[in-house]
Structure 1
Amino acid sequence: MRTRRRFKQSKTLSERLADEAARCREEARALAPGRRRELLLRKARQDETAMQIDAWLHSPGLRTPT
């Protein structure tokens, strides 16, 4: 059985998502309107939504559902 290659992340998940969202938006700005641009903007929005969910999950006011 193969072992998994593991490494520690140097940035937090939120930082990585923010970097990826900014990169996608910057790349989309350079493109003409079209499918590729829309896909990049969608990816940026998904990254931003993931950042909000991560922040919500790590918020101190989060309680277990009852």
Structure 2
Amino acid sequence: MQRRRRFKQIQSLEERLAEIAKRLREEAKSLPQEWSAKKSSAKPGKPKPART
């Protein structure tokens, strides 16, 4: 039976998360602008009352 080897983390969690966030921001820039416009056009306010 083979022994499992330990995996050494070279980068800290913070560094890895920063790189992922940067990559996702760049991917988001390539999305159509209408997608981000739809999200930002939502008006915050009171939720509609539920029908009973």
Equivalent residue number for residue 28 of structure 2: 28
Percent sequence identity over aligned pairs: 55
Cα RMSD for the two superposed structures: 2.8
Q: TM-score, normalised by structure 1?
A: 0.41
Q: Which runs of 5+ in 2 are unaligned?
A: 40-52
Distance 1:26 1:6, change over 3 A: same
> Hey, which bits of structure 1, 4+ residues long, moved more than 2 A?
3-6
Q: TM-score, normalised by structure 2?
A: 0.51
Q: Which runs of 5+ in 1 are unaligned?
A: 39-66
The structure number with the bigger radius of gyration is 2
Letter in 2 for 1:24: L
Aligned residue pairs total 34
